Amino acid sequence: MVDQTALPKTSGASRHLDNDAPRDEEGLLLEYDAIICGTGLTQSILASALARHGKSVLHCDTSDYYGELDAVWTLPYLQEKLGKGHELKGKMVTVRTDDSTCIPLSPKGGLQSFQIHSLERRNDFTVEQGTAVVTPYGNGTIISISPRGLFLDLLVSLDTWKLANGKNPSVHISIPQSAASTGAAFQKYLKEKLGIVSIDERDAHLILDERSRGFAVDATPGLLYASGASVEGLLKSGVADYLEFKSLEGLLWLENSDSCLEPVPCSKNDVFASKLLSPMDKRRLMKFLQLALDYGTAHALAEEEASAENNKQVLSLNERYLNQGRSLARPQNKAVLADDIRALQEFIQADMKFHEYLESKQRLSPKLCRIVRHALALESGNGDWSLRQGMTSLCQHMQALGRFGTTAFLVPMYGSGELPQAFCRSAAVYGATYLLRLKAAAIATDGEASAAMVKEVMCRHMVVPQDSVATLESKSRRVWRYLCIFRGKVVGSSRSPQRHAIIVPPGAFGPDAVRGVLLDEGVNVTPHVPCGCTILHLTMAVENDTGIDPQDILRRVSLSVLSSKYEGSNAIRIFQVTFSYALPEASNQTKNVQNLHCVQRSEPGLSADSSFEQAREIFAAICPDGNFLAISEQVDTVVKERLGEQIEEDADGLVLDSAMDIIEPKTRESSAT
Amino acid sequence: MAAHRPKTLKIVILGDSGVGKTSLMNRYSTGKFTGQYKATIGADFLTKQVVVTDAFGQRHVVMLQIWDTAGQERFQSLGVGFYRGADAALLCYDVTDLHSIDNLNHWRQEFLDQVGGSMMVPGLSETAAQFPFAVLGNKVDKVNDRLVPLARAEQWCRDAAGAHSMGSIPFPHFETSAKTAVNVDEAFHEVARLALQYEDYKRRSQPPQLFVPPSVPPIDLRRQTSSTYEERNDTCC
């Protein structure tokens, strides 16, 4: 390995920001502080943090878009390139550090285990009795189709016209029997010769063909907690400048295949209004949520005291309350007895399970217990959570409530795939080099160039996605994703925005929990069309080889979602796709290599906050004394110099310069070039 | 609410590395020129409030938000996020570099590929051609090194604009110098005017609706106050 202490510290830290660092003929540095492969969210956050700390970063990706499995695709891209299995062209780069192993990298990078299982577009639209249709004479409804001699007589009532007697006019259209003998030919004749198609088909064509570029399809949809690591990181790094959000409208609960979507009670108002709970349950839930909030406050206070020295900005208790679930933390809600908190802390020490605590100590009913575990604490992964885990997660949710909007979550405009791109831009602003369409071939740590490699780049730290180094075991967990596009809206009314999270607890449809997000054009992820368009994302992580059919489960969930649409909704499913990717586990091969950091795909949750945590960990490993996502002084000075702020201080010099320009423009010009 | 805050227009600046994109932006925003070439670092986007007079002589205060490529253009690695929500694009070339004007086709195509769909005005398929582009030939102060004649650039502007729709107006073209400030303000002002015009056009070509549901403005994380809190404030005043 490179002995880092032997290198002069100043030379490496920010030399790349000046132009005197050695570069090759393509403009790449000969050596980077860090090479990051893959532009997933974690890697992008890390790149931004490193670049802002003054490290030289080369960030590459095999695809021609940002984000890997956190990307945002257009619908045509999903259909054409991903659906057909794309072949990417790119050059190979060998990455070299000074040890003696060579680890080949998968040419597909983080997309190695990506697989599309089905991709279907609805085509079976038919025109029959009662179908709403578009005709050359206006929109109408088919009243009857009856044979009359050698012809079929089609009677259409035109809804867009109204006669003086209040009735709709109708038209008779004759179709020769010979031309319309079978069903398919009849439909074809109507469509091609008469210009009569069903409204459903017309809308599907409008959404999926004409406006299909208006889709922003997230590979992994993620929401953000309105307060916490992610929002802090966005603000600290200035990435919040690039992004806009809308708040989630609500969390919905799908108990089982026979029930409808019900709002999850998060705030005090919700709890009172909820139809999911009995009065007794409501009281117990309120009490428990109050306890959780107080526990969160106590916990945060204890943490703050522990790090009081480095924490300059101490919030008053009042300020803290302001940022916490406003609807819960009101003075009139009496503080829970300190005894309860102490008891809770003792149970945490005793390593109790979260569900055990809820059932036996808080005496919540089984149904309420499930709601708290899966919809409020958002329990994920396989295996039961410990009480500590459960309370931490629950507090995070409660504290984010009411900061922006009415729920705890934020939805990025144009899809969550914008997040990695925004962080990459921030990294680029501070000098990181970006290379898309580039395959990293191998990590050679022996310092010997192999002849097969096209190009070598040296680095001190290497960050790769786990997928590209791990040999995938068939036993490993896989994330199954299902997304479908609806014409129309599902929740609320025809005017309500569709921005909802859907929680399906384990055991409802299959052994695993399913998370869903329902989004529409309010966040620009679907095209703006008069008939409305909604996209449903469903995500589920399952063990391989357990004999269940994830595709079937996800389809049934989507049908249940669709069947709980509001009365009068015109929602129909017009497109669906299922794909999956692996959640590889850390392999021993890479653990032993120094300065090689693997990015682990995290268990899919509702929020993307775990990526921030992971990026922070890797950042701490690379820069132990660095301040995560903060701009270092060095970089700040260089940037200010660039933007000419130093010249401002030297006003006399500026006057002299401009005077020189007037006197001898020619000579100055030649010296400048 | 919208009346209090000036409308923000996002303008992206495109072109090969080293044609002077960052210098043009700096010249426009600070009135300064730093001289030697350094690959862009620290340049992000700048905002400037300007007054634009539209075709009817009406004056509008708008907030121009001009986005630099941040060096990501170097290896053709600009993501779709950069182009999102753009209201106009500045295509820059270097009058001393023939290659840079040839590449304008690439930049224009890339732009349309990335945002074409979401920019689309309902019912009009050739909006792509109407999307406001302005072409800037930078470094005209280097008279002796000049390789791109004015006529050639103007021909390109005609061809590019005419490729999609019949009888269209050629892209506005400016020969600028970030060093001597020639035409810089004029170019940015023109692009602001075009962006405003396009925005207005887009709004008016929406199908007429009797009732437009109130749209919730997006959340800006930098504003610390809760949006619900603010709404409450509004109603009581």
Tell me if A35 sits within 8 A of A50, measured CB to CB: no
Distance from CA of A245 to the nearest CA of B (A): 5
Which residues in A lie closer than 8 A to residue B32 (C-beta atoms)? 644, 647
Which is it for strands A91-96 and A438-446: parallel, antiparallel or unpaired?
parallel
Among the candidates A544, A561, A583, a domain finishes at A583
Nearest to B219 among A66, A245, A431 (CB): A245
Q: Is the pLDDT of residue A91 over 60?
A: no
pLDDT per residue as tens digits for the range A331-348: 545 555 677 888 888 898
Q: What does each C-alpha distance from B21 to A341, A555, B36, B91 come to in angstroms?
A: 59, 50, 13, 9
User: CA A270, A486, A121, A128: dihedral to nearest 10 degrees?
Assistant: 130
Domain for residue A34, yes or no?
A: no
Domain for residue A248, yes or no?
A: no
Identify the closest residue of chain B to A52 by CA–CA distance.
B42
Distance CA A146, CA A172 (A): 11
Distance CA B222, CA B216 (A): 17
Q: Are residues A277 and A393 in the same domain?
A: yes
Chain centroid to CA B169: 18
- Residue A307 sits in a domain of what CATH number? 1.10.405.10
Q: Three-state SS string across A163-199, please?
A: CCCCCCCEEEEEEEHHHHCCHHHHHHHHHHHHCCEEH
Q: In this predicted structure, what is the pLDDT of residue A191?
A: 86
Helical (H) or strand (E) element with A211: none
Identify the closest residue of chain B to A226 by CA–CA distance.
B221
Question: Average of pLDDT values for A553-561?
Answer: 94
Distance from CA of B45 to the nearest CA of A (A): 9
Asked if B42's CB is within 8 angstroms of A643's CB, the reply is: yes
Classified as helix, coil or strand, A409 is strand
Q: In this predicted structure, what is the pLDDT of residue B236?
A: 39
Tokens standing for residue A389: 């885990």
How many domains is chain A built from? 4
**Share above pLDDT 70 across residues of chain B, in percent, rounded to a whole number:** 74
Among the candidates A342, A369, A400, a domain finishes at A400
A98 burial level (CB within 10 Å; 0-12, 13-18, 19+): middle
Tell me if A553 sits within 8 A of A546, measured CB to CB: no
Which is it for strands A31-37 and A409-412: parallel, antiparallel or unpaired?
unpaired
Q: Three-state SS string across A251-294, please?
A: EEEECCCCCCEEECCCCHHHHHHCCCCCHHHHHHHHHHHHHHHH
A250 burial level (CB within 10 Å; 0-12, 13-18, 19+): buried
Residues 6+ apart with CB under 8 A from A662: none
Asked if A214's CB is within 8 angstroms of B118's CB, the reply is: yes
Cβ–Cβ contact B208 with A under 8 A: no
Q: Where are the domains of chain B?
A: 7-205
Tell me if A74 sits within 8 A of A454, measured CB to CB: no
Asked if B44's CB is within 8 angstroms of A413's CB, the reply is: no
A482 vs B160 pLDDT, higher one: A482
pLDDT per residue as tens digits for the range A632-642: 888 888 777 76
Asked if A644's CB is within 8 angstroms of B26's CB, the reply is: yes
Asked if A497's CB is within 8 angstroms of B216's CB, the reply is: yes
Look up residue A534 and give its amino acid: T
Distance CA A82, CA A70 (A): 15
Domain for residue A358, yes or no?
A: yes
**Share above pLDDT 90 across residues of chain B, in percent, rounded to a whole number:** 26
Cβ–Cβ contact B28 with A under 8 A: no
Q: Are residues A173 and A280 in the same domain?
A: no
Classified as helix, coil or strand, A598 is strand
Domain for residue A228, yes or no?
A: no
Q: Are residues A274 and A393 in the same domain?
A: yes
Q: Is the pLDDT of residue A97 over 80?
A: no
Distance from CA of B104 to the nearest CA of A (A): 20
User: Nearest 5 degrees, angle CA B139-CA B143-CA B149?
Assistant: 80
Q: Is the pLDDT of residue A393 over 80?
A: yes
Cβ–Cβ contact B117 with A under 8 A: yes
pLDDT per residue as tens digits for the range A578-618: 998 888 877 666 666 778 888 888 888 888 888 999 999 99
Separation of first and last alpha carbons in chain B: 13
Asked if B220's CB is within 8 angstroms of A240's CB, the reply is: yes
pLDDT per residue as tens digits for the range A240-295: 988 989 999 999 999 888 888 989 988 777 888 888 888 888 989 988 888 888 88
Tell me if A224 sits within 8 A of A230, measured CB to CB: yes
Query: Quick one: pLDDT band at residue A303, thresholds 50, 70, 90?
Result: confident
Which residues in A lie closer than 8 A to residue B10 (C-beta atoms)? none
Look up residue A335 and give its amino acid: A
Q: What does each C-alpha distance from A295 to A291, A346, A386, A391, A396 come to in angstroms?
A: 6, 12, 16, 8, 11
φ, ψ at A74 (rounded to 5°): -85, 160
Which residues in B lie closer than 8 A to residue A242 (C-beta atoms)? 81
Nearest to B81 among A18, A402, A418 (CB): A418
Tell me if A461 sits within 8 A of A34, measured CB to CB: yes
Q: In this predicted structure, what is the pLDDT of residue A503?
A: 94
Asked if B141's CB is within 8 angstroms of A428's CB, the reply is: no
Q: Are residues A276 and A396 in the same domain?
A: yes
Residue where the block lists tokens 């790349």:
A16
Q: Are residues A271 and A393 in the same domain?
A: yes
Among the candidates A561, A583, A605, a domain finishes at A583
Which residues in B lie closer than 8 A to residue A16 (C-beta atoms)? none
Asked if A424's CB is within 8 angstroms of B72's CB, the reply is: yes
Q: In this predicted structure, what is the pLDDT of residue A10?
A: 37
Q: Are residues A575 and A506 in the same domain?
A: yes
Cβ–Cβ contact B224 with A under 8 A: no
Cβ–Cβ contact B225 with A under 8 A: no
Domain for residue A370, yes or no?
A: yes
Q: What does each C-alpha distance from B184 to A394, B17, B87, B135, B178 come to in angstroms?
A: 55, 19, 19, 12, 7
Classified as helix, coil or strand, A628 is coil
Question: How many residue pairs bridge chain A and chain B with CB atoms within 8 Å of each other?
Answer: 144
Q: Which residues pair with A461 in a beta bridge?
A: A34
Sheet containing A151-158: which strands, arranged edge to edge?
A170-176, A151-158, A138-148, A132-135, A197-198
A609-622 and A229-236 are packed helices; what angle lies between their axes, rounded to 10 degrees? Answer: 60
Q: Are residues A289 and A188 in the same domain?
A: no
Q: In this predicted structure, what is the pLDDT of residue B211?
A: 56
Q: Are residues A651 and A555 in the same domain?
A: no
Distance CA A349, CA A89 (A): 54
Q: Are residues A277 and A383 in the same domain?
A: yes
Q: Is the pLDDT of residue B102 over 70?
A: yes
Cβ–Cβ contact B46 with A under 8 A: no
Query: Quick one: pLDDT band at residue B66, thresholds 50, 70, 90?
Result: very high
pLDDT per residue as tens digits for the range A24-36: 777 788 888 999 9
Helical (H) or strand (E) element with B7: strand B7-15
Q: Is the pLDDT of residue A434 over 50?
A: yes
Nearest to A247 among B43, B71, B219 (CB): B219
Residue of B146, B153, B209, B220 lying closest to B177 (CA atoms): B146
B residues 119-178 lying closer than 8 A (beta carbon) to A: 120, 122, 141-142
Tokens standing for residue B150: 């004015």
Distance from CA of A533 to the nearest CA of B (A): 14
Identify the closest residue of chain A to B39 by CA–CA distance.
A19
Residue where the block lists tokens 């199954």:
A480
Identify the closest residue of chain B to A637 by CA–CA distance.
B42
Cβ–Cβ contact B44 with A under 8 A: yes
Q: Is the pLDDT of residue A436 over 60?
A: yes
Which residue of A211, A323, A403, A416 is the best one to mutate when testing the B interface, meaning the one whose CB has the most B CBs within 10 A? A403
Separation of first and last alpha carbons in chain A: 42
Which residue of B17, B26, B63, B72 is the best one to mutate when testing the A interface, meaning the one whose CB has the most A CBs within 10 A? B72
Helical (H) or strand (E) element with A653: helix A651-663
Q: In this predicted structure, what is the pLDDT of residue A265?
A: 87
Q: In this predicted structure, what is the pLDDT of residue A671?
A: 47
pLDDT per residue as tens digits for the range A128-173: 888 899 988 889 999 988 888 888 888 999 988 888 888 889 888 8
Tokens standing for residue A314: 């101490």
Q: Is the pLDDT of residue A208 over 80?
A: yes
Question: Average of pLDDT values for B198-213?
Answer: 67
Q: In this predicted structure, what is the pLDDT of residue A553?
A: 94
* Residue A180 belongs to domain spanning: 132-195
Domain for residue A75, yes or no?
A: no
Query: Quick one: pLDDT band at residue B232, thresholds 50, 70, 90?
Result: very low
Identify the closest residue of chain B to A422 by CA–CA distance.
B81
Asked if A410's CB is within 8 angstroms of B42's CB, the reply is: no
Residue of A459, A403, A330 lying closest to A1 (CA atoms): A459
The domain made up of B7-205 is a member of CATH 3.90.1170.50:
no
Query: Quick one: pLDDT band at residue B214, thresholds 50, 70, 90?
Result: low
Q: Are residues A285 and A185 in the same domain?
A: no
Look up residue A137 and give its amino acid: Y
Distance CA A203, CA A526 (A): 13
Window from A258-262, A572-576, A656-660, B186-190 with minimum mean pLDDT: A656-660
Tell me if A589 sits within 8 A of A445, measured CB to CB: no
Residue where the block lists tokens 């390995």:
A1
Q: In this predicted structure, what is the pLDDT of residue B163?
A: 53
Distance from CA of B19 to the nearest CA of A (A): 14
Helical (H) or strand (E) element with A553: helix A550-563
Query: Quick one: pLDDT band at residue A643, thresholds 50, 70, 90?
Result: low
